[in-house]
Amino acid sequence: MRWWIIALVLLAVAAIYVRGRPHTEPVDRKVPVDMKVEGRGTPATADVAISNEGTCTLDGEVVSCDEVGERIRERRLPDNVRISVAAAANAPLDAVKAALRSIDREHYSNYHFVN
């Protein structure tokens, strides 16, 4: 009969001990510096614009449409970076294809069109 009393007391002490301590460590929800686009301060975004002449700009910097994905990768942005692609109304189809293929080659899949 005494071992039941000892077991109940131990369970009560364990319950009090567990309730007094947090079960998990606090999570730091700050965005790491590597996930911010330089100079913009927003978490992991990239804006691609394709002009009527077939030139591409990545966040205001003129780049070759074939190199858009590689330039995003050089910035060390994560694979789930949100890429906004905006093509002008008369942008050459070859330039749009080249930019999208470049993005696909680097395995980025979170892109959308803005027009």
**What CATH number is given to the structural domain containing 101?**
3.30.420
The pLDDT, as a whole number, for residue 4 is: 72
pLDDT in tens, 12-35: 767 666 555 555 555 444 444 444
- Residue 7 placed within a domain: no
Beta sheet of 82-87, edge-to-edge order: 61-63, 56-58, 45-50, 82-87, 111-113
- Residue 16 placed within a domain: no
pLDDT in tens, 66-114: 999 999 999 888 888 899 999 998 999 999 999 999 999 998 888 888 8
- Residue 98 placed within a domain: yes
Give residue 54's domain range: 32-113
Number of domains present in the structure of the chain: 1
pLDDT: is 1 or 69 the higher one?
A: 69
- Residue 91 placed within a domain: yes
- pLDDT of residue 58 exceeding 60, the answer is yes
The pLDDT, as a whole number, for residue 7 is: 76
- Residue 107 placed within a domain: yes
- Residue 96 placed within a domain: yes
Instruction: Give the closest residue to 70 by CA, choosing from 52, 91, 53, 46.
Output: 46
